[in-house]
Structures are given as structure tokens and as C-alpha cells.
């Protein structure tokens, strides 16, 4: 059976709320989750969602990690429920540490056959970090990698 992994690097700053809910990069991540679920419906694959949380040393790991898990669960619960009702096996995980290292470990551990990543929006500092991590991941995994970009609206209202 095929195993699909969708992963997101979450940078938690001590003074900011949960980034998954307020970043522009959320669009790429959600597009990747939708892509994985729809593909899994067609090919009868398992979907794994991995949120890799990097924590700044300024906040307490136990408290912030619990809050992160609750917020992620609320945000992804609807998508997961809908996918499961359509017969797709979906599991999500939260890891703490370096994004590149955690993705490589998870791919090997769960025997992932396809890694789907959402591309960061625009030319930002996050794009540079993402490209560095992607290069390291490509060098160390033996699965296909698909990059997904959020669709832009055809017209924008002013």
C-alpha cells in the first residue's frame, strides 16, 4: 500500500500565535493536504500529516506543545473527518525539532512512497529556508516528492 506524507515547518515565536492559522504559507500547506487526500481516494493510499514544530528557547516546551497540538487538531479535524468518511486512512503527527531531520526520519520510519510539500508563497525569507531544507530532504529520501502551490485567484477585486 502507498503511504503519502504531507508536512509543514511551523516556526513558533514566543510572542506570536500559532503560525499555521495566520501565515500566507498556510495556503500551500492546505493545498498539499487536499492534494494528498484526493490522490489517496483514487489510489487507496494512507495519508500521514506531519507538523514539525521548531520552538524558540524563550517559551516552555510542554505548554506551547500542548497548545500547538490543540490548535492543529481543531484546524485539521474537518478535513480529516471528511477524508475518513470517504474511506481514506488519515493520521496526523506533531514532531518537535528540525524540519529537515524530522521529515527524513519520518519518511524512513513509515516507509513513505510520496512526499507532498506546499511551496511557500512569494519570495520571502521562508522560501530560502524551505529551499535549503528541500535540498537536504531530496538528498536523503528515496521517495517521490511533489511540490504544490496554492492556486491564485484568476482576478482580484480592488
pLDDT per position as a tens digit, 31-81: 888 899 999 999 999 999 998 887 665 555 455 445 555 655 566 678 889
Q: How far apart are CA 88 and CA 45, in angstroms?
A: 7
The topology under which CATH files domain 3-148 is Rossmann fold (3.40.50)
**CA atoms 26, 120, 5, 154: torsion sign:** positive
* Mean pLDDT in residue range 125-136: 85
pLDDT class for 22, splitting at 50, 70, 90? very low
Does 86 score more than 80 pLDDT? yes
Within 22-158, residue ranges assigned H as helices are 26-43, 61-85, 99-110, 125-140
pLDDT for residue 91 is more than 50: yes
**Which grid coordinates are listed for 119?**
511551496
Amino acid at each position: 500500500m502507498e503511504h503519502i506524507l504531507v508536512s509543514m515547518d511551523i516556526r513558533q515565536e514566543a510572542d506570536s500565535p500559532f503560525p499555521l492559522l495566520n501565515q500566507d504559507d498556510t495556503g500551500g500547506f492546505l493545498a498539499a493536504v487536499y492534494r494528498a487526500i484526493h490522490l489517496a481516494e483514487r489510489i487507496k493510499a494512507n495519508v500521514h500529516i506531519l507538523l514539525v514544530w521548531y520552538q524558540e528557547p524563550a517559551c516552555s516546551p510542554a505548554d506551547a506543545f500542548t497548545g500547538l497540538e490543540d490548535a492543529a487538531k481543531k484546524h485539521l479535524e474537518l478535513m480529516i473527518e471528511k477524508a475518513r468518511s470517504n474511506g481514506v486512512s488519515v493520521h496526523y503527527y506533531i514532531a518537535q525539532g528540525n524540519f529537515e531531520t524530522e521529515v527524513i526520519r519520518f519518511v524512513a520510519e513509515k516507509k513513505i512512497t510520496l512526499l507532498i510539500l506546499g511551496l511557500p508563497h512569494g519570495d520571502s525569507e521562508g522560501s530560502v529556508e524551505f529551499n535549503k531544507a528541500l535540498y537536504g530532504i531530496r538528498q536523503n529520501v528515496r521517495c517521490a516528492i511533489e511540490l504544490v502551490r496554492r492556486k491564485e485567484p484568476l482576478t482580484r477585486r480592488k
